[in-house]
Each structure stands twice: as structure tokens, then as C-alpha cells.
Amino acid sequence: MRVLAVSSGGGHWVELLRIRPALEGQDIHFVTVQPGYREDVAAAPFYTVRDATRWNPMGLLILAVQLLVIVAQVRPDVVISTGAAPGYFAIRFGKFFKARTIWIDTLATISDMSMSGRMAGKHADLWLTQWPEVAQANGPEYAGKVI
């Protein structure tokens, strides 16, 4: 199975790496915003995209185009993300290409979902939070923490 694992930097990346053992034996392609993270995933296919936020609309447009191209090239069976903006676009484009999608909201959001989680989660096949207090009947679900 081809998996596209996507996150922004910092804690999002750390959390994505923590779930890597669950993906053992799959063809994993990684996407993130920091070229230096390549060393964390050894010889796995690795892509970098622009780091953008809602405060930079042009940057978000560039990020979206970059992710559309990556998803179209990789044609993943599964897209999994721990956030933020890169994960949102990966989930949306993954669905367009018929991939199964998983959103795991960041551990940093203690009392409610992150903005990107609220936006992406409703489009994901599996929508998870790492806090039982944030789980809801109509999503997200709580299934434990990755850290």
C-alpha cells in the first residue's frame, strides 16, 4: 500500500514520525516543510512544500498547488496527516484521487480541535483527536495519543 504521510514542522512532524511504526512494511512517502527533516526518514521518498499559514494567502495557494502535484504523482492509497495546512490540502486532494484519509489532530490542542483539524477532519475517512475531552459523537474520535 502506498501511504502519503504529511505534516508541517515542529511537533506535527514529531507526531507523524511517532506513528511510523504502525505503517511498517508500507510504501511511505513523506511530505513536510523543512528540507532538513529528510534525514529523519532515511531513504523513503521525501518532498518539501512551502510553509504557509492563513495569514499568507499567496503562500497557501502555492502550497496547495505543490500538494496537488505531489498527490497526483504519488497516487497514494492512504493519506495520513498530523496537521497543519499541508495536511489539510493533502486530505482534500487525496479524497479527490480516491485515497483513504486519516487526520490525527495535534496533541497541542487540549480543549478543542485545531483550525486545520476542524477544516480537514470533516473530509477525512478517519478523524482522530489525542484528547478524550475533545472527542465527539460525530467526530473526532479519541483512540489514544502518539506521544
> pLDDT tens, 32-76?
999 999 999 989 999 999 999 889 999 999 999 999 999 999 999
Q: What is the mean pLDDT of residues 23-38?
A: 97
pLDDT greater at residue 128 or residue 97: 97
- State the total domains in the chain: 1
Residue 129 falls within a domain, yes or no? yes
Residue 74 falls within a domain, yes or no? yes
Domain of residue 48, CATH code: 3.40.50.2000
Residue 49 falls within a domain, yes or no? yes
Q: What are phi and psi of 81, to 5 degrees?
A: -145, 145
Q: Using the 8-state DSSP alphabet, how is residue 18 labeled?
A: H
CA distances from 98 to 22, 71, 82, 92 (A): 22, 11, 20, 10
- Mean of all residue pLDDT scores within the chain: 87
Write down the pLDDT at residue 66: 98
Write down the pLDDT at residue 63: 98
Residue 147 falls within a domain, yes or no? no
Write down the pLDDT at residue 105: 80
Write down the pLDDT at residue 127: 82
Residue 47 falls within a domain, yes or no? yes
Structural domain containing residue 119: 2-142
Q: What is the mean pLDDT of residues 88-101?
A: 97
